[in-house]
A = this chain, B = another copy of it.
């Protein structure tokens, strides 16, 4: 039996050595959708230094990395996806709520006043969903979100929203996890809207999603207990709320943070002012052709203070136009179609 075990160890060793050898020798680019440039270099260097023996080494357990969601991992134009969800839901529920016809913001939703709704902000969206889905169980809400996300389509790309997760960020999430980073979402959006699809889309499990939340209540419900959604905001995970959310839910300072708007500035500030050299990255929406171009003056995802702070604090600004070889996974196909003039499908 001892011989058997020794034999197995020997084979394991040989296998692992050969595997390592071939991994090093033939290592493919872990970030193929990133063009070679300062941003890609900053990320690769940071990860390498984290693993290197020396002052920048970070033990795997402390390799916490946080990502904003809207505008960082998927598009937030022409409106927050969660707002599109809220609008669809409110329209569906409106017949049962005649009072909404005269109450804002429901009135604007029902009348299709999208310009007015654009300015609603994170808190407004959370409130909209909260008030329209209060009194319902968390489980039922989860089902509603899953059904919606499976069927709704983005107005510009006519694809399910989850297919719009930025390809370079999906590669980055995988690359970081492969290097023992623990990936978290820290979003201003409602946590119960993101959790139902984040695992499938980003590989991020529910327990690694931090977001805005409403208060919840446990009800026995005749031995069929339920968690009921209340009509009261619990926590807004935006701006200075982001580092607070990180402390409350994660309990460790991240060593890398990715955002795209002024709502992420405090999160990046917190991440990059620890004892260890933290990585701060802002995704800059400057690609009108493939996605959208907006920054200092935008209603949605305004990036003004962030661009100033990036310079002062040495954060890396990712140009979607120049740093990303592709934005979406479906792009190559479309480009091929365009290139060959084959639009006859």
Contacts and interface: CB of A to CB of B under 8 A. Distances in A.
B7 A18 contact: yes
A273 B207 contact: no
Nearest to A219: B240
Given A15-B11, A22-B8, A247 B227 contact: yes
Nearest to A312: B223
B218 A244 contact: yes
A270 B219 CA distance: 10
B218 A240 contact: yes
A1 B28 CA distance: 14
Contacts of A213: 248
Given A227-B243, A243-B225, A244-B216, A207 B251 contact: yes
Contact of A8 (B15, B199, B234, B251): B15
A240 B221 CA distance: 13
A58 to B, nearest CB: 14
A247 B226 CA distance: 11
Interface in A56-108: 61, 64
Interface of A: 1, 4-5, 7-19, 21-22, 25-26, 61, 64, 138, 182, 184, 191-192, 195, 199, 205-209, 213, 216-218, 220, 223-225, 227, 234, 240-241, 243-244, 247-252, 266, 269-270, 273
A251 B18 contact: no
List the 3 shortest-distance A-B pairs measured between CB atoms, nearest first. A8-B18, A12-B15, A206-B251
B19 A250 contact: no
A16 B252 CA distance: 36
A270 B17 CA distance: 47
A244 B216 CA distance: 6
17 contacts: A1-B22, A8-B21, A9-B19, A11-B12, A12-B15, A14-B15, A15-B16, A64-B207, A184-B207, A207-B250, A207-B252, A218-B241, A218-B243, A225-B270, A227-B244, A227-B247, A234-B248
Nearest to A243: B218
Given A184-B207, A209-B251, 19 more contacts: A1-B25, A7-B18, A11-B12, A61-B205, A182-B207, A191-B248, A206-B251, A206-B252, A207-B249, A207-B252, A216-B248, A218-B241, A223-B273, A224-B273, A225-B243, A225-B269, A225-B273, A227-B243, A227-B247
